[in-house]
Structure 1
Amino acid sequence: MPSNHRAVGPLRILLVLLFAGLVVAQIAIVPGTLAHLADEEPDLAYLRWPALAFGVVELLCVQVVIVCTWKLLGMVKADRIFSQAAFVWVDTIVWTMVTAWVLLFGAFVFVSALLREPGLPVLLFGSVLAGGVLVLLMIVMRALLRQATNLRSDMDAVI
């Protein structure tokens, strides 16, 4: 078994734990926190439901990426990662990340217009930058997978 296959098992365990944590956050932590904030800041209570929808959708995007990563890990383990079937999962990751980034950018614009103090807008701006980097990195990784898949096809044709 190649050495990279040894990382698949521990990575899958961490993905399951992360997925479970995200489900708990979606069901209990985010709604509870936003309810508490609505009670503490009644003038911002109208943002509770839009913020809840935003939080749940963003966490759902992370969950979709986890499921796609799980599928890709199965392809790695079966030595089928350099096939056209992998692109379905990689494309889903890219488009999910683009969706999450667009929503995050929208939240940044909305919060920046709403708040006068710079703390949260600066934090969101950093998150928008980091999200943009991740999206572009995934696009580059997809291009590298495409090149490797083409090379693998060429090598299989020669052999």
Structure 2
Amino acid sequence: MNVDNRVVIPLRAALLVLLAVLIVLQTLSFPGQFAHMAAESPESAHLRWPATALAAFLILCVEVVLVCIWRLLTLVRGDRIFTRASLIWVDVIVWTVAVGWVAFAGAFVYVGINADDPGLPLLMFVCLTFVAVFGLLMIVMRALLRQATDLRTDMDAVI
């Protein structure tokens, strides 16, 4: 068992657990929570379905990123991470993060305009900042991966 397997196998197990939790949140927890909130606060009941749809969409974005990470781990195990195939998965991560960020930013603006208490908008701002940093980090990692892929291609041509 090489070093890659000592990292890849536990990471895949963690990804599976995280994916299972996200599916439960997406299908049971958030829809039930928003239904309960609509029943408790009839003045906000009109937000039940938009909030449910947004939560499901944002969780779907996270699930797509997890699948891409799984695929990248497959490339790591096969010693093919420094190929053009890996760039496709990193691009999907970057675009998924961007789309999710825009959707969440729209919700942030709506909540910020209608908020009585600064707590939720502040929490949403922290989440937006975290996701923006993650997205920018993925762009940098993509550039590094591209450079490493080009170097590996050049080395393979020499050898």
Name the CA distance, whole Å, in 2 between partners of 1:119 and 1:6: 41
Cα deviations by residue, 1:51-91 (Å, 9 ceiling, x for unpaired): 00000000000110111111110000000000001111111
- Correspondence for 2:53: 53
Counterpart in 2 of 1:106? 106
1:106-146, CA deviations, whole angstroms, 9 ceiling, x for partnerless residues? 11101001112111111111111111101100000100100
How big is the shift at 1:22?
Answer: 0.7
Give the TM-score, by structure 2 length.
0.97
In the aligned structure 1, how far is the partner of 2:37 from the partner of 2:116? 18
How high is the sequence identity, in percent, across the aligned residues?
53
Instruction: Specify the alignment match of 1:85 in structure 2.
Output: 85
* C-alpha contact (below 8 Å) 1:64/1:93 kept by paired residues: yes
Where structure 2 has 5 or more consecutive residues not aligned to the other structure, the ranges are: none
> Could you say which residue in structure 2 is the equivalent of 1:10?
10
Q: CA offset at residue 40 of structure 1?
A: 1.3
Where does the alignment leave 5 or more consecutive residues of structure 1 unmatched? none
Deviation of the 1:2 alpha carbon? 4.0
Work out the number of aligned pairs and report it.
Answer: 159
Query: Is 1:156 aligned to residue 156 of structure 2?
Result: yes
1:15 maps to a residue whose letter is L
| RMSD value, Cα | 0.9
Q: TM-score, normalised to structure 1's length? A: 0.97
Cross-structure match for 1:130: 130
Contact 1:5 1:76 in 2 (8 A): no
Moved over 4 A (4+): none
Structure 1 residue matching 2:117: 3-state secondary structure: coil
